[in-house]
Structure 1
Amino acid sequence: NILEEVAFNLDNHNSILSIVKAARENARSVRYTLSTELWEVINRYYHYVNDYSVPFYKTRGLYDFTINVTMHTSIIQSYIDRTLLYDDTWIFLKLGIHIERCTQILRILNSKIIDINVLTNNDFEDSLTTYQWTTTLKIMEAFDMCRRYYKGDINQENVISFLLSNPSLSRSLVYNLNEIDELLSQLSFAAETDAKLSFQAAKLASSFKFLEYSEIEDNLQPFLINALSKIYKLHDLIEEEYFK
């Protein structure tokens, strides 16, 4: 069952339960740096997922489960901002959030491009393509703001530009890259490679800030895959510098 595999299979390191369990163990290992309130909501999240009835999930609980997973994730992020000192611990937590958001944006867009190419190659109606882009925006919690920004015109060019290059949208790639650059500059301890890391983050952010859709329109999927590899490279540089 695909739904069960994605949600509860501990042998799948990308399942929701595996990720929440790993997050809890990571939090436990640095428990002394976290607030009691943050630890409690992380712990509560783990027990919610771990104790959820799989039979109920497979028959009637999918909506309930996914809504609550989203809610728990949002609560944790709010407690990170509300209950911690804005010190290096907070900075590294926020770096992780923004890097993950960058990869999420690119993976979702790449997946949708594949789906839309299948529809196009099989001569499906344009309305189905519009539906795919509408779904993408809703997944990214950006549907209403995109309609407002583009006066209701939902199409591939607008969605791609909005999610990659709009610095006013907290769900956009360029916004999160700007945040990564800013966070790196706030670390209290200096390393020799700090300037290189900050330069790489700023360079990556600038490349998307001034991106024109026409530049990538004919090569969209390879562009997204290449961008994802650059995000992973930035992540690896941060990990190598500060965690090894």
Structure 2
Amino acid sequence: MPNTTPTSALAFLQSSSLPMVMQEEIERLIMTGELPVGSRVNESELAARFNTSRGPIREALRALEEAGLVRNEKNRGVFVREISFEEADEIYELREALEEVIGRRVAVAMTPDAIERLRAMVEAMRSAGKVKDLEQYAQLNLQFHDTLLDTAGSRKLTETYKRLVKELHLFRMRALDSGGGLEVSAGEHSAIVDAIASGDPEKAGLALRRHVAGSRERMHKAFGRPDAGTANQTVDSTTEGKTR
């Protein structure tokens, strides 16, 4: 009697993993701007593009809705989610706290070899900034922070942080471009590496928190908000409390 189990198992694996693959591909289209913020996501077009049925696309979009990247409007369809300035500002505030936790954990876990890899990333970021290669800079920035996140070694922290970063992606790109981030961000990352290399959790945590506060202030500047100075209030008050 022939054994059909391997074939059945393969078919199950393919059917169960396809929506996940589609989720990753659609997310990539959103993150690169090929599916712009506010645009309608066409299931049929995506199914044709990826040579699959609409079922896996629909499942992928449900997962992306849970991840906060798309929204489903009744009788209208699925759209790439637009985040208001106010919501982005709240997310930045949360990121400040999370980055401080990451810095504290990484300062006691980072190896000398990993420090050198971070320094190499910073130099590559500096080069990308000089030639105004925004896409390359953004990728290196993501790689830098992913390295810190992996080193922090907390699954729950990783899940929370990555969701926030994905929601902020388009805002951060605009802040880098028109908020002056390319000119100063590499220097901020260099300071982060120095703080981590010191092995001082408090110093590393504060360096990362300052970096996010700076990014938040650049977002205010890019969007022409008069309250740009509020981005540093938390850091300033934190610093003041530590120096008294």
TM-score of the two chains, using structure 1 as the length reference: 0.31
Give the strand-richer structure, 1 or 2.
2
TM-score of the two chains, using structure 2 as the length reference: 0.31
Q: Which has the higher contact order (CA 8 A, sep 6+)?
A: 2
Q: Computing the radius of gyration over CA atoms, which structure comes out larger, 1 or 2?
A: 2
